[in-house]
Structure 1
Amino acid sequence: MKLPLVATLLASFLSSFAGEIAPSQNPTALMPRHGTVMIQPAKRWEDGLAAGNGTMGAMLYGHPEKDTLLVNHSKLWLPVGSREVLPNGGDILSEMRRIIGEKGYGEGQKFFLEKAREGGWGGELVWTDAFHPGFFVDIGQAQPGEVKDFARVEDFSAGETWVQWKNDDGAFERRMFVSRTDNTLVTTTTGPKGKVSLTVRMQKVNSPLIESTVEHSTDWITCHNVYVKGKGGYEGAIRVISEGGKRTSNGSSVTITGADSVTLLVRILPWRTPLPESQAWPNDPKNPDFTGPERKVARSTVQIPGKAYNPEWMTALKADLQSMPTDYSTLFKPHTAAWSALFNRASIDLGGTAGERGLPSELLLDKAQQEKRLSPALLERMYDAGRYVFMCAAGPETPPNLFGIWTGTWKPAWSGDYTTDTNLQLDTELAYSANLAECMTGYYHLWDSYMPDLRRNAKSLYNCRGILIGSRSSNNGLALHWDKGWPGNLWTPGTSWMAHWYYDHFLYTGDREFLRSTAIPFMKDCALFWEDFLKGTEDNDGRRTFRPSYSAENGWGDNTSQDIEITHELLTNLIEGCELLGIESEGVVRWKALLAKLPPLLINDQGQLKEWSNPKQGEKNNHRHLMHLYGAFESQQFSRDRDPKLFEAAKVALNNRVNASQEDATHGYMHTGLAAVGLGMGDLAFSRIEEMAKRRSIYSNMVAAHFGGPRILCDDGNGATPEIVNRMFLQSRVGDLTLLPAVPKALPKGSLRGTRARGNIGVDELKWDLAAGTCEVTLSSTAKRELVVALPNDLGVSKMTIGGKEIPVTAQGVARTGAKVNIPAGSVKITVAFKK
């Protein structure tokens, strides 16, 4: 796109504004190298400037005359009074299976629910506690004259956001970050000397399920919030700091007049207390958190437990904020150093034009809708935004939830929880290839903290050993979300799906201690569940039968392909990991025997991989979920070399799903995109991301939405987009790299820097130019190793060099050409020439 045309479009866009806000006339000059600029005020919280550190989140939205600061925390789950007790169904599995076999799944589920009632179930769907806002802070600032040169900026690489404008008094800025080093939200308003005058007010909490006390003084704004339904509450504290001027308070707000700057230091401290009669381990009175020595409040504290509320928690919180520096830049420096060290590891260049890269998000997204295309510049920004949102939302004790780490509503869709039958997995897809392994700490911490609940799920629901994750979780891990209309109790493969990342952590990092102490124990517990669950289900051929079985949100039926594929991956990884470490020899024998007895995947008479691997059940292709393609989008089970017929059947299944589905859910586009790259279908993968842009499933702050419009903030699109892009250009197994496996026609030239591959390989740089017929990759390794490097046959590889020395190229299976190379410790460059 030529710059004059971009300038014309921008001028036309700006001229459409009339009234109280005049946008910046040169937003391109404000554009960070990695970030975005917006030139319209955010009228709703979903479009607000978004920041976070994995523990706390914040959004700033509104108008310079009245901005609203929304403050969130990863541990804020609103107790709705759900009874946290699983029914003791006893040993009902064999009888349930018999009923399903004779009378069908409807009668089998009816039997399960009857037994659940006998075991103490209340008869209704139990909702997870809802992710809720911490508090809203109004920042009022009178605006003499016209507000002009308005812009909002998110600098992804620095972890900072700001809004800037001018009025008759001069130029003003309101900057914000959530510190990774100090666990504090910091926001400052600056302007001409003596011209910063604000009124700051914390809104009263607007929920009948919270008893809240808000206090304002000249130096502090605090809130004390108690959950009506038990389990604790949370403290909030804002330290008000001004340079120059005067501060006063009327008890309902704080007013600052004539200052040079006003800075707010903000923190939320959740606290939890036991819930009598709860079986959920985090709330169980027997949990050592409540019975052991009382913890001290520290700056790094995410949530504090106690037998009862202790007023000293607020005292300690205020004392810590009081001890912090008051200068914004002093606080920002260590934060941005820590943030940038993570974010700047990776980068992408897809050939976006300078003109489009400089466009504000509103116009860039408008163009995608109007032109019905995804430009390279927009995809570059979506790629960076995905990494930014993940870093904001992935914390030391929690992974991203449905909304990342932000919500401005007290009644969030789907409770805003950890929805584990698709969404949480998509949130975290990018972590390892995008070189952000450290951000997965909260993922492992969450499941570790819920482990007693996961054991109870397996025992209470199906009388099995091992662990079982339900389809929904929030502040505990009990699998309570099921009833007659929602058979979530039948969905059993979630735990083994979660295990995918446990093993991938080892594959990407080479961390054998993590494999031994964390991954293998978790996977063993997953396998233990399957050993018991599948016992006694052998058919005439000795194959095990998954019954009951439920393909995520699309229907029940024996032997869902997802159950077979996920269990296949779990057992394969567990066996491989144990043999690598030389441990669990008896277990390996059992797991190999079970793996050999899994039912086969089936292909129907249209050549499509079936979603239910039983001959009696047909396909339901008009659906956003496509769990039968797990072997394509997650586990790499489908391979043209190992099983070309199954590989082609998966492609038919994917095309049929895409062609039939009429649903507008981002997670559906993301999983079809991931499946497409896994099957070498780059153009289809690109089109899935393009649908997000065309349907405007992205807010102006570049946070994804669940539906087009955008409607309902939901960050799974942010987590999956960078992973889809990375897999277009590089896919890996230990000892094997495929370069350019699914390059779409729309991206013929570009580069990736700082990503990672399985086998503990750093991809320092990958460059490709299809028109020139060249590809270069620089790899780094901590040790010498042998590695297959190959490209798809349709690229026509003619020459390869490593370290400048030509090496012979040969067939690597039926669809790839490349070479087996020895790479040294350190870095090495490999070049490839292929047909233009």
Structure 2
Amino acid sequence: MFKHLLLLVLGSLIGVAIQAQSFTPPDRGFVSWKPAPRWEDALLSGNGTMGTLMFGEPHDETIIVNHALSYLPQRVPLQPIDQASRLAEIRDLLARGKFVEAARIPVEQSMKEGYGEKHWIDPYVPVCDIKLSMTPGNVVDYIRMVDFETGEAKVQWRQDGQLYQRSLFVSRADSVMVMKITSSGKVNVRLSLRQHPVNWDQWDYINNAIKYTNVSAKDNYLTCSTAFNHHFKGIPYGFEATALVYNVGGTKKTEDSHIVVTDADEVLVLMAVAPDFKNKASLQSYLQKWLTTIKPDYATLLEGQKRSHGELFGRVKLSLGKDAKADLQSEAFVETARQGVTPPMIQKEFDAARYNIISSTGINPPNLQGIWSGTWTPPWSSGFTHDGNVEVAVSHLLSANTPELMAAYLHYHERMMPWYRDNARRLFGTRGIVVPAHSSSHGWNIHFDETWTLSLWTAGAGWTAGILYDYYLYTGNPDLLEKHIYPFMREAAWFYEDFLIKGDDGKYLFSPSYSPENNPANSPSQLVVNATMDVMVAKDLLRNCIDAGKIVGETSQQIHKWEQMLTLMPDYRINTDGELAEWLPRNFEENHSHRHVSQLYALFDRMAPEFVTDTVLRNAAHKTLKARMDQRRRNHGGEMVFGLAQQGMVAANLGDAALTGEIIDLMAGYYWAPSFATYHNAGNLFNMDLSGGFPAVIIRSLVYSEPGSISLLPALSPNWETGAIEGIALRGQIIVNRLEWSRNDVVVRFTSAIDQRVMVKLPKVCSRIVASPKAAASKVDCSKNYFFLRMKKGVPVTVTLTY
């Protein structure tokens, strides 16, 4: 089959050569040789608010249109249960080792309070489809492609001696979808909007949620209006979509709900989508008026897209060489990658991953599917899963020098804080906030299950706070810290002030506790006491609150309280195999056949200070990582790739170059669709977690930073003898303008936004260090694997290292 695929690819490459005067394969992007057989393989475009999936069919095209807020309300949510009233009972059962019985209590309470069944968050669903029909004929020289630099999805083919082209992008600058259809002859096209198709067995589900969907065509406009049956504060009553159809030459008319264009030289479609938050009048007149203010010129609109999307994408560039495999058409690329990846293939996937996350970050951070959905029933409702998924999806936004995109993550959590406060009060009887494991259109924890004990998970707010504090460490923005980030951090810490109790040894007891989605090998229940991750998150939060509190002027009493709390944290446990244990109690046995690696939280992003200074702890974490990797290797990386990405981050932070390189190769080989979307599992399940984690691991392997400290090439893949990366950001307001390496030399150029002195750590001792300007690195001792660099605000510093 692989040989047959390569023959088809070679045939299509001949077609590309014939068409060199038309669409040219993008420098940073990909080319595919066939239309998408399913929505998961469609071409992706998006601006963080609207996302499109274009199949690329020549004659019967479908473009699925999504909006970042299009979560289908299943019901008006019930408030979280009064779990707090039964917390003492839960703790008593846990103390007596009755873990299964303790886990049943929230489910039992949910039934008493009228839940009736397990509730899920509202699912992420399409707004509508664009349908486009063109005259059928024999197709030759077909290609489709995506240009990562412009966000354009393109389709081209020859038919009856004519060249046909279709180009689409979702403009970040103008907040509209732009589509152009041209031909070397005349364009004849039939256009309409429709409700996304519903399977026969989904109608009860759809009718329960959707009041109506109306489509129409009048004058130059196609419209689609959808109203929901259920509404609660903060969500839309429905959605409205409008497409304005222009034709150059030819004629245009309406037929029922269609616009039919005949013998045109060009057709241009502008489309806008808006949520209805007022439920007072149709938004169609507003959308139509808005669209008429936009100049109907594809080239002009594309220039705006280049200045917005293109500028974001172009800030970082990874260069790992060139080879023929990286230029294979996408279907062959995916098959070839499974046989083994090359550095240039990884470079292309790095670009694809960043494109996917940039395109799906705007109003919200990326959900499980980014900003794209072609189904009414997405896995896990395709919301935000806060026990690892969304954290990995946003994990490279700061290091890839796109800090403004991190605002989407911050603002989503800020909007949800009233719901999070209810979670803390209702579920645990505390002040502060609790971030649920799953959220979408609201932030209440409504998921009660005796196996997946998510209502008893407490680490979500602390984890979120750690990412937000990192936002400050990269940007150094004091207003951002004081007005937005620190208030969230403080409320997350208040929760622990009320929640934590002391055990018999005088140390804090985390009860109930939960290591996401895993249970000890000798216990059937995921509910435990003193999961390692819970302790790590609390310590990380308190340390960050102390540091941030001193910056923003927190009271000395509050800071002292947090300092005292840190002294009462229980010690980590190293098990009999020398591994860092996932649970602190000695009676719990490890369960390494699992997709998460939660007990290594302290090594995911910034390395916790105790792991920096304690070799024993660091070695134990390394052994845990290796034990988890045994399971991954047996399954080509296995399911839930965000866990593999986290293992890559840990390996890089531990300086294990060989293991980091192996993990990067696994992620590069098995988790990519022909659309260069990413998968959740090896070979299946559309999911954007890896698109966030893949660049994060690569950047982490090239540079690790702390304020005042930079580690160069801490875990460089052994397969990357030469290469370069441009434009990445470091903690402490430093940009790496360019880092270039070869077998014997490293050249790096930094620019700092402030005056500062920084320690630069090297992977090994070098024979010569030269800085320009010379005074930036004075009194360098080449017998050591570090030196100090003085940076002046805005003045580039270049350092050349020779081994």
TM-score tier after normalising by the smaller chain length: over 0.9
Q: Summarize the Cα distance change of 1:763–1:403 in structure 2 as closer, same or farther, 3 Å threshold.
A: same
Q: Is 2:616 the counterpart of 1:645?
A: yes
1:306-350 Cα deviation digits (max 9, x unpaired): 2xx222422211221133222222222222212222111111101
Q: Summarize the Cα distance change of 1:404–1:529 in structure 2 as closer, same or farther, 3 Å threshold.
A: same
1:258-314 Cα deviation digits (max 9, x unpaired): 00111111121112xxxxxxxxxxxxxxxxxxxxxxxxxxxxxxxxx22xx222422
Provide the rounded CA distance (Å) in 2 between the counterparts of 1:763 and 1:591: 35
- Whichever residue aligns with residue 707 of structure 1, its letter is N
Q: Which residue of 2 aligns with 1:198?
A: 189
Q: Is 2:167 the counterpart of 1:167?
A: no
Q: CA deviation at 1:16?
A: 7.2
Provide the rounded CA distance (Å) in 1 between the counterparts of 2:92 and 2:781: 54
1:7-42 Cα deviation digits (max 9, x unpaired): x9997343578xxx9953579993322211112221
1:572-621 Cα deviation digits (max 9, x unpaired): 11111122344332211011111111111110011100001121111010
Provide the rounded CA distance (Å) in 1 between the counterparts of 2:610 and 2:571: 16
SS in 2 for 1:331: helix
Q: Is 2:725 the counterpart of 1:752?
A: yes
Q: CA deviation at 1:504?
A: 0.9
Q: For structure 1, which segment, 100-109 or 457-466, has the greater mean C-alpha deviation from structure 2 after superposition? A: 100-109
Q: CA deviation at 1:430?
A: 0.6
1:246-285 equivalence runs, <5 A: 246-271=251-276
Asked if the contact 2:149–2:313 (Cα under 8 Å) also holds between the matched residues in 1, the reply is yes
1:653-672 equivalence runs, <5 A: 653-661=624-632, 662=635, 663-672=638-647
Q: Which residue of 1 aligns with 2:220?
A: 219
Q: Is 2:355 the counterpart of 1:388?
A: yes
Provide the rounded CA distance (Å) in 1 between the counterparts of 2:331 and 2:780: 48
1:20-76 Cα deviation digits (max 9, x unpaired): x99535799933222111122212121111100000000110421111111100000
Q: Summarize the Cα distance change of 1:559–1:757 in structure 2 as closer, same or farther, 3 Å threshold.
A: same
Q: CA deviation at 1:115?
A: 4.2
Asked if the contact 1:76–1:132 (Cα under 8 Å) also holds between the matched residues in 2, the reply is yes
1:36-435 equivalence runs, <5 A: 36-81=30-75, 83-118=77-112, 120-144=113-137, 146-193=138-185, 195-205=186-196, 206=198, 207-208=206-207, 209-210=209-210, 211-230=212-231, 232-271=237-276, 305-306=277-278, 309-353=279-323, 355-369=324-338, 372-395=339-362, 397-435=363-401
Q: CA deviation at 1:192?
A: 2.2
SS in 1 for 2:596: coil
Q: CA deviation at 1:693?
A: 3.6
Q: For structure 1, which segment, 246-255 or 260-269, has the greater mean C-alpha deviation from structure 2 after superposition? A: 246-255
Provide the rounded CA distance (Å) in 1 between the counterparts of 2:750 and 2:397: 19
Q: CA deviation at 1:86?
A: 1.7
Provide the rounded CA distance (Å) in 2 between the counterparts of 1:382 and 1:204: 33
- Whichever residue aligns with residue 553 of structure 1, its letter is E
SS in 2 for 1:380: helix
Q: Is 2:674 the counterpart of 1:700?
A: yes
SS in 1 for 2:260: strand
Q: Which residue of 2 aligns with 1:285?
A: none
- Whichever residue aligns with residue 797 of structure 1, its letter is C
Asked if the contact 1:729–1:739 (Cα under 8 Å) also holds between the matched residues in 2, the reply is yes
Provide the rounded CA distance (Å) in 1 between the counterparts of 2:484 and 2:366: 21
Q: TM-score, normalised on structure 1?
A: 0.89
SS in 2 for 1:30: coil
Q: Which residue of 2 aligns with 1:288?
A: none
Q: For structure 1, which segment, 750-759 or 93-102, has the greater mean C-alpha deviation from structure 2 after superposition? A: 93-102
Q: 1:609 aligns with which of 552, 556, 580?
A: 580
SS in 2 for 1:387: helix
Q: Is 2:509 the counterpart of 1:545?
A: yes
- Whichever residue aligns with residue 516 of structure 2, its letter is A
SS in 2 for 1:130: coil
Q: For structure 1, which segment, 86-95 or 180-189, has the greater mean C-alpha deviation from structure 2 after superposition? A: 86-95
Q: TM-score, normalised on structure 2?
A: 0.92
Asked if the contact 2:461–2:492 (Cα under 8 Å) also holds between the matched residues in 1, the reply is yes
1:195-231 Cα deviation digits (max 9, x unpaired): 1010112233434332211112341111111113345
- Whichever residue aligns with residue 408 of structure 1, its letter is G
Provide the rounded CA distance (Å) in 1 between the counterparts of 2:796 and 2:296: 47
SS in 1 for 2:590: coil
Provide the rounded CA distance (Å) in 2 between the counterparts of 1:601 and 1:358: 48
- Whichever residue aligns with residue 569 of structure 2, its letter is L
1:484-495 equivalence runs, <5 A: 484-495=450-461
Provide the rounded CA distance (Å) in 2 between the counterparts of 1:584 and 1:401: 37
- Whichever residue aligns with residue 315 of structure 1, its letter is S
Provide the rounded CA distance (Å) in 2 between the counterparts of 1:665 and 1:245: 52
Q: Which runs of 5+ in 1 are unaligned?
A: 1-7, 272-304
Provide the rounded CA distance (Å) in 1 between the counterparts of 2:685 and 2:791: 47
1:466-477 equivalence runs, <5 A: 466-477=432-443
SS in 1 for 2:404: helix
Q: 1:452 aligns with which of 415, 418, 422?
A: 418
Provide the rounded CA distance (Å) in 1 between the counterparts of 2:747 and 2:603: 26
Asked if the contact 1:800–1:809 (Cα under 8 Å) also holds between the matched residues in 2, the reply is yes
Q: Summarize the Cα distance change of 1:484–1:811 in structure 2 as closer, same or farther, 3 Å threshold.
A: farther
Q: Which residue of 1 aligns with 2:788?
A: 820
Q: CA deviation at 1:826?
A: 2.3
Q: Is 2:549 the counterpart of 1:575?
A: no
Q: Which residue of 1 aligns with 2:201?
A: none
- Whichever residue aligns with residue 336 of structure 1, its letter is K
Q: Summarize the Cα distance change of 1:546–1:449 in structure 2 as closer, same or farther, 3 Å threshold.
A: same
Asked if the contact 1:798–1:809 (Cα under 8 Å) also holds between the matched residues in 2, the reply is no
1:88-142 Cα deviation digits (max 9, x unpaired): 2344333321221024222222334444545x25242111110001111121111
Q: CA deviation at 1:639?
A: 6.5
State the percentage of identical aligned residues.
30
Asked if the contact 1:638–1:647 (Cα under 8 Å) also holds between the matched residues in 2, the reply is no
Provide the rounded CA distance (Å) in 2 between the counterparts of 1:192 and 1:31: 19
Asked if the contact 2:244–2:271 (Cα under 8 Å) also holds between the matched residues in 1, the reply is yes
Provide the rounded CA distance (Å) in 2 between the counterparts of 1:450 and 1:523: 14
Q: CA deviation at 1:382?
A: 1.1
Q: 1:557 aligns with which of 528, 531, 537?
A: 528
Asked if the contact 1:427–1:718 (Cα under 8 Å) also holds between the matched residues in 2, the reply is yes
Q: CA deviation at 1:834?
A: 5.0
Q: 1:591 aligns with which of 554, 562, 569?
A: 562
Asked if the contact 1:22–1:147 (Cα under 8 Å) also holds between the matched residues in 2, the reply is no
Q: Which residue of 2 aligns with 1:779?
A: 750
Asked if the contact 2:769–2:782 (Cα under 8 Å) also holds between the matched residues in 1, the reply is no
Provide the rounded CA distance (Å) in 1 between the counterparts of 2:347 and 2:26: 13
Provide the rounded CA distance (Å) in 2 between the counterparts of 1:90 and 1:344: 50
Q: CA deviation at 1:737?
A: 0.1
- Whichever residue aligns with residue 667 of structure 1, its letter is F
SS in 2 for 1:386: helix
Q: CA deviation at 1:626?
A: 0.5
Q: Is 2:496 the counterpart of 1:530?
A: yes
SS in 1 for 2:502: coil
Provide the rounded CA distance (Å) in 2 between the counterparts of 1:62 and 1:781: 45
Q: Summarize the Cα distance change of 1:821–1:214 in structure 2 as closer, same or farther, 3 Å threshold.
A: same
Q: Is 2:767 the counterpart of 1:803?
A: no
Q: CA deviation at 1:823?
A: 1.6
Provide the rounded CA distance (Å) in 1 between the counterparts of 2:320 and 2:10: 31
Q: Summarize the Cα distance change of 1:130–1:641 in structure 2 as closer, same or farther, 3 Å threshold.
A: closer
- Whichever residue aligns with residue 217 of structure 1, its letter is K
Q: Summarize the Cα distance change of 1:639–1:332 in structure 2 as closer, same or farther, 3 Å threshold.
A: same
Asked if the contact 2:48–2:360 (Cα under 8 Å) also holds between the matched residues in 1, the reply is yes
Asked if the contact 2:791–2:797 (Cα under 8 Å) also holds between the matched residues in 1, the reply is no
